[in-house]
Amino acid sequence: MNAEPVRAGSVRAGKATGDVPPVHPLWLRLTHWLNALAVVLMVMSGWRIYNASPLFDFRFADEITLGGWLAGAILWHFAAMWLLVVNGVLYLSINTATGRLWRRFFPLSPRGFVADLKAAFHGRLSHADPRRYNTVQRAAYLFVILDLVLLVVSGLVLWKSVQFPLLRELMGGYEAARYVHFFTMAALVGFVAIHVAMALLVPRSLLHMIRGR
Amino acid sequence: MNDRQKRMCEMEMGPEQPDRRRFLRGSLALGALPLLGGCSVSDEPIVEKALLQVSRFNDRVQAWLFDPEQLAPTYPESMITRPFPFNAYYSLDKVPQIDGERFRLQVGGRVADQRPWSLAELRTLPQADQVTRLICVEGWSAIGKWGGVRFSDFLERIGADLEAQYVGFRCADGYYTSIDMPTALHPQTLLTLTFDGQVLPARYGFPLKLRMPTKLGYKNPKHVEALFVTNRYPGGYWEDRGYNWFGGS
């Protein structure tokens, strides 16, 4: 149930170790790292744009921003957005079409989530089968997918608020969309921090995401 | 917008602007070099060029997204932002003081009737007003009420070539910008003579400001003294320094 069926594309990749397919197929690894690049560029340039007119009583240090000044940051932001969106659509399409999305992320029960969270805090969460995501992972990855979708939609409202009246009203207007964009960014950054920490705690998972096995 | 934010605006839009072609300096050294790994400092112009090409592509996407029928939201007068923020690349004391009696709007390029217009003549044309949100490229926004001549009416009146690509503007404060013809003809694009029901105050662009709720603030020129219709890309003050040309909202 949890093992991925061997498909034409993965047989060749699995040659070195017999017929075992890679933990993560090539397309997934590619979209993952392109997404990582896009997110870093978007967040760093976005912080510079935030600094031009801060929503809250703080600014991001210039050293962790991208673009040099407002126009440069906007150029980066509106260039990297194409990478983020095209790559994201590609990821979601392939993930849905191959059925991987359902195999990997479901079922998703609250009970399983609590149990796995407890196990994680006691250091008892098994990573024996890298093909199987525990419930906390499933919830976290689904959360960040939805967060990114909301981040992109709120960004679309900020970019073209007149041209997308329905989206603008769903966000609660232009000013509200700024807050949605900020908080979805904050949630994304929070996810990345935990995600990177977890990957470093289980270095094998990082190798899986780079080499596929 | 409070004082703190206003200071931020002045910092970003302030006098210490890098020259054109150098607007990314610092950005790569600080942020992108560790990311781009093998990308040396000498590659800077290549990255800069690529980013500007994407920006041109974004101009085309925005022109394609632009719906001439789609109206920007309008607001009740009770929602007008008071005081309405002043914003420019210079301070309030540098705002040009123009003699309204002697002022003439110059009209040129692909227009049949090139005679200049006095303010009194512009005031005899049918007037309209609307309460709309001005969105600054910096992220803040403010609601104001502008009144004046519908720009499409004016362009027709002077026999402008409505098939031309651009309308360019030159301003008394040295500012210049240009817009696409579909936006120029948008029903909410106004050649404004008033702000909040009063003669346009100097700080908001006396004697003339082009107001477009479908464009970001920097595309809305103040102190307009000349406009021209052309098929040659005219650029703009901020646009030539790296801001996106279409600047739609």
What's the confidence (pLDDT) of residue B82? 96
* pLDDT tier at B5, thresholds 50, 70, 90: very low
Which residue out of B2, B19, B30, B137 would a mutagenesis test of the A interface target, given it has the greatest number of A Cβ atoms within 10 Å?
B30
Q: Do B54 and A79 touch (CB under 8 A)?
A: yes
The pLDDT of A34-41, averaged and rounded, is: 98
Alpha carbon distance B234, B230 (integer Å) = 8
Whether chain A has a CB inside 8 Å of the CB on B60: the answer is: no
Domain spanning B1-249: CATH superfamily: Oxidoreductase, molybdopterin-binding domain (3.90.420.10)
Q: Could you say which of B31, B71, B138 has the minimum Cβ distance to residue A70?
A: B138
Q: What is the mean pLDDT of residues A103-124?
A: 85
Q: What is the pLDDT of residue B24?
A: 52
pLDDT tens readout for residues B133-183: 999 999 999 999 999 999 999 999 999 999 999 999 999 999 999 999 999
All structural domains of chain B with their residue ranges: 1-249
pLDDT at res. B43 = 52
Q: Which fold has domain A22-52+61-211?
A: Fumarate Reductase Cytochrome B subunit (1.20.950)
Average pLDDT, chain A: 89
Is A63–B9 a contact, with Cβ atoms under 8 angstroms apart?
A: no
Contacts of B249 in chain A (CB under 8 A): 159-162
Is it the case that residue B187 has pLDDT exceeding 50?
A: yes
pLDDT given for residue A11 in this prediction: 43
Q: Which of A76-85, B43-52, B180-189 has the lowest mean pLDDT?
A: B43-52
Does the predicted interface ipTM exceed a cut of 0.90? no
CB distance from A78 to chain B under 8 Å? yes
Q: In Å, how far are A153, B84, B193 from B201, measured between CA atoms?
A: 38, 11, 9
The predicted pLDDT at position A110 comes to: 87
pLDDT value at residue B34: 45
CA distance B111 to B89: 31
Residue B129: pLDDT over 60: yes
Q: Which of residues 9-38 of A touch B (CB under 8 A)?
A: 37
Mean pLDDT over A93-108 rounds to 91
Q: pLDDT-derived band of residue B44, with 50, 70 and 90 as boundaries?
A: confident
Give contacts of A161 with chain B, Cβ < 8 Å: 135, 249
Q: Chain A residue with minimal CA distance to B11?
A: A52
Contact of A50 with chain B, judged by CB distance below 8 Å, is answered with yes
Q: B88 at the A interface (CB within 8 A)?
A: no
pLDDT category, A112, cuts 50, 70, 90?
Answer: confident
The Cα B12–Cα A50 span in angstroms is: 11
What is the least distance, in Å, from the CA of B26 to any CA of chain A?
5
How does pLDDT run across A43-93, given as a tens digit for each residue?
Answer: 999 999 999 999 999 999 999 999 999 999 999 999 999 999 999 999 999
Contact B23 A66 (CB under 8 A): no
What pLDDT, on the 0 to 100 scale, is given for residue B36?
45
Residue B77's pLDDT is what? 97
B54 vs A75: CB contact, 8 Å cut-off? yes
Rounded CA separation B75/A114 (Å): 48
* Residues A134-186 pLDDT 10s: 888 899 999 999 999 999 999 999 999 999 999 999 999 999 999 999 999 99
What does the domain layout of chain A look like in residue ranges? 22-52+61-211
pLDDT band at B86 (very low <50, low <70, confident <90, very high): very high
Full DSSP string of A177-212? HHHHHHHHHHHHHHHHHHHHHHHHHSHHHHHHHHH-
- The average pLDDT across A206-212 equals 91
CA separation, residue B166 to residues A167, B59, B113, B160, B209 (Å) = 30, 13, 17, 11, 17
Residue A17: band (very low, low, confident or very high) from pLDDT cuts 50, 70, 90: low
Taking alpha carbons only, the member of B112, B100, B64, B186 closest to residue A160 is: B64
pLDDT of residue B26: 46
Say yes or no for a CB contact (<8 Å) between A66 and B27: yes
What is the token pair recorded at A44? Answer: 């760093």
- pLDDT at residue B31 in the model: 45
Min Cα distance B126 → chain A (Å) is 26
